[in-house]
Structure 1
Amino acid sequence: MKITFFTHSTCMLEIHKNFLLIDPFFSENPILEKRTLLSNKYIQSFERIDYILLTHAHYDHVCDVEFFAKKFNSLIISNYEISNFFNKKGLKTYGINYGSFISFPFGKLKYVWASHSSSFNDGTYGGNPGGFLLHTDKGNIYLSGDTSLTYEMNLIPKFGNLKISILPIGGIYTMDVEEAIIASNFLQCDKILGVHYDTFESIKIDRKKAKEKFLDKKKQLFLLEMGESICI
């Protein structure tokens, strides 16, 4: 399984030649040059996007969904309300909610609890925010979405061991670094990919200190540069 980080919470997962784009946030991203999406060198490199996974409806997670879904004929997977929102725009969607695992060609996917909020920029209700628990024969991964620290995270490893977890670490709107370390204990997962930091002034972090804090607990925090990948 290959994980490529782009910006904010936007990542691409490659599993058995299936490409899953997570929470696309390019066009309105303040740290990226204001240019057309098609001129972005990373987007130009995308050969295809089979699935788009959306954790909640905030603009910094969904602003480019229509662009990618139309360009690549992707299947959007999200909660019932977000899926309906995009289905009404003529896009392919698969609506889910907190419940059982659902099988896809890339593995099994489960929508799980996140403690946050969820609404579109126009005020449309975005349903319950969530994260995704993904089980594959290449290993299991937890994408928490935007969330505070929650005791429900203790349930995640009961379904199977995790190879890596993707957690927000910027604070203010989500967990910060210290809380993400506690979350990793709940998850019984010592490899964390940090997201949702440095994009806005309010969520700036000290990257060196963040890595040191994880290392002090004998854990590894990955803070990837734009376009950088790891394989698990």
Structure 2
Amino acid sequence: MKCAIITGGSRGIGRAICLKLAEEKNYHILINYTSNQAAAEETLAKVQELGSTGEILKFDVGNAEETQKVLGDWQDKNPDSVVEVIVNNAGITKDGLFMWMKHEDWNNVVNTSLNGFFNVTNFFIQKLLRNKYGRIINMVSVSGVKGTAGQTNYSAAKAAVIGATKALAQEIAKRNITVNAVAPGFIKTDMTYDLNEDELKAMIPANRFGEAEEVADLVAFLASKKSSYITGEVININGGIYS
């Protein structure tokens, strides 16, 4: 069975990606979540409604031991399953000015985005290399590309994942595995719910927030065979926010 894993797949952009990949029916969808079980179950139900198959995997991507255990158990139970697509989408924000930033707010944000990328991708990487095919898609952010005041921790974490994307892409391109990053701007999700949309729209040439489905369309393209000559790229999807 061919599988795609989406970390932080229960809500927002992660859910939209699960549903888009489910629509295409190429993959059994592995939906990772950390805390919101109801949302994860809802996403799985929607995946099944679209005629695809899937399952839920509960683990914190930032916790190396837990990630290893849950994915190891899954692989043992599914020896013939191959994960071809990895979407590293899990991320958290703990915004605040750097001068007042708490140590744990720095660590938690960096741990989820950066170490989460390592923990999940590193678990599967040898299998991808043996299989000589794969798609790794890292969700970053406009914050990681240009930096955002009040988000030094998040900007640092996402910028680090961009660097990792470019390096890993060069290491494994010969094995027909692509590694790309997608950098959304302001997208309508729970994460941006508290932002003043009317005020911020003025900064965006497209004059609106993006939809999670628009990001999912881009991710689905990068997850497909059509994108086989694109690797090491950071693709911005932000309505022209800093062009």
Q: Give the TM-score taking structure 2 as reference length.
A: 0.37
More strand by proportion, 1 or 2?
1
Query: Rg larger in 1 or in 2?
Result: 2
Q: Give the TM-score taking structure 1 as reference length.
A: 0.38
